Structure 1
Amino acid sequence: MMTLILSLETSSPVCSIALHRDGQLLSQTELRLEKSHSSHLSLLIQQLLDNTSTTLQELAAVAVSDGPGSYTGLRIGGAAAKGLCYALDIPLIAIGTLPAMARQVAAYTPPAEDLLLCPMLDARRMEVYSALYAPDGREVLAPAPLILDSETLAEQLAHHRLLFFGNGAAKFAPLVDSANAGFLTDVEPSAVAVGALAYEAFLRQDFRDVAYYEPFYLKEVHTTTPKAK
């Protein structure tokens, strides 16, 4: 029996969705439009299903990018995934944004024993959400918020080649003075990598509780009350 998984990636300004069958990509689509997730996500899903002659009832699971990332984006993706899973009575799979980005880059990066992959997502000011992964996906340093300065990841850079990417990496580049540091540009979170990892999670039956699932924000959500005019 084939396994169709719909994957949603809304942790960044890019709204990305993908459909995989037994771990193989069938179709993907992305919309690079600021603050468009809430108004376009459902339409993009329907268009993708129509383009692949697939129906919601054929889905075996829905996967969502778990975070960290944009609070609003993660809430939108999580709510959409939970709604679909509840309505269709299928499992919910949550995939970390940072390991998915590492998987994405590892797919076209020649493996090397001393190489570590370092996704960085902008967390405003001089802070990023980051982690370290070996090219085979093994977690070396758990996801955490990092304050960027000239000493950030200095110990790791002294012993490994680190490849930095993501929308937070550009802030780090001017602070690094190491021949072991490399930087990739234009790497955004993608539902394609989420879907690849989601199939592996599906085989392990690594599912989330649809009723109680919340994204991995990494930092507490801070809200403010608008000032009265």
Structure 2
Amino acid sequence: MALLLNIDTATENASIALSENGKAVLTMVNNQQRDHASWIQPAIQDLLKKTGRTMQELQAVAVTAGPGSYTGLRVGMATAKGLCFALGIPMITENTLRVMAYAATVQTFPNGDEYRIKAGLKNGTLLCPMIDARRMEVFTALYDLGLNIVQNPAAIILDADSFNKELENNSILFLGNGSAKWKPVCNHPNAFFADVNQTAEHLAPLAEVLFLQEKFADLAYEEPVYLKEFYSHIKK
């Protein structure tokens, strides 16, 4: 049982959550992607103040390690490392795509729970989180309903034949901001789409399991999971 600070700055919405025993006590969200770096430290102080807890009570810091926004990942990782070094506590990392997949299993969807009615979240259903990686490229992976990896996280370029083999034998729920550009291309009857909003609250239960298993990251050598090299449009 642990008191954890959970950090997710991997996508357009940054969030932090204080969790106890794997359940979020309070979650705070920032929707301005360019402000993640300036928002996070004051937000952590505000989070602790509102929950009546202190930095010294934290037992670990968990962070989404990627894939995702290059800058966002660096903000989250640097923040987590700095706190862990200063407080002498362990750091826990989790793949962003796995957090997204978990969020899909616990989120209630609107419009009559359309996805659960059609696909049933039954045996044979796979979860495919997608993060936009420019043009028709996405960061993605496939998970079963137990969040076990079926297809390893990777950066792929989508086309009309993507996931054809997997869709023949499985219903697949596509989610995340990358799935918006895949939806008009994919016409397979076993493909379903849903808006799933993950936050640091969804990182919390996954981080709790890793904490109890003592699966901690190496503070000195842990790096974000980028999946592809960063590039800039700025001309030199």
TM-score after normalising by structure 1: 0.94
CA contact (8 A) 2:23 2:201 kept: no
C-alpha separation between the residues in 2 aligned to 1:58 and 1:88? Answer: 9
SS in 2 for 1:83: helix
C-alpha separation between the residues in 1 aligned to 2:205 and 2:15? Answer: 14
SS in 2 for 1:196: helix
Q: Please, which moves more after superposition, 170-179 or 107-116?
A: 107-116
CA contact (8 A) 1:14 1:188 kept: no
C-alpha separation between the residues in 1 aligned to 2:33 and 2:127? Answer: 27
The percentage of aligned residue pairs carrying the same residue is 44
C-alpha separation between the residues in 2 aligned to 1:222 and 1:93? Answer: 28
Q: Please, which moves more after superposition, 105-114 or 192-201?
A: 105-114
Residue 115 of structure 1 is matched in structure 2 by 125
Residue 176 of structure 2 is matched in structure 1 by 166
Residue 200 of structure 2 is matched in structure 1 by 191
Deviations 1:49-89 (A, max 9, x none): 11110100000000010100000000000000000000000
Runs of 4 or more consecutive aligned structure 1 residues displaced over 4 Å after TM superposition: 223-226
Deviations 1:120-152 (A, max 9, x none): 000001000000111111111110111111100
Please report the RMSD computed on the Cα atoms of aligned residues, expressed in angstroms.
Answer: 1.3
CA contact (8 A) 1:9 1:189 kept: no
Structure 1 unpaired stretches of 5+: none
Which amino acid in the other structure matches residue 206 of structure 1? K
Equivalent of 2:163 in 132, 145, 153 = 153
Residue 32 of structure 2 is matched in structure 1 by 33
SS in 1 for 2:34: coil
CA contact (8 A) 1:3 1:22 kept: yes
Structure 2 unpaired stretches of 5+: 108-115
TM-score after normalising by structure 2: 0.92
Residue 13 of structure 2 is matched in structure 1 by 14
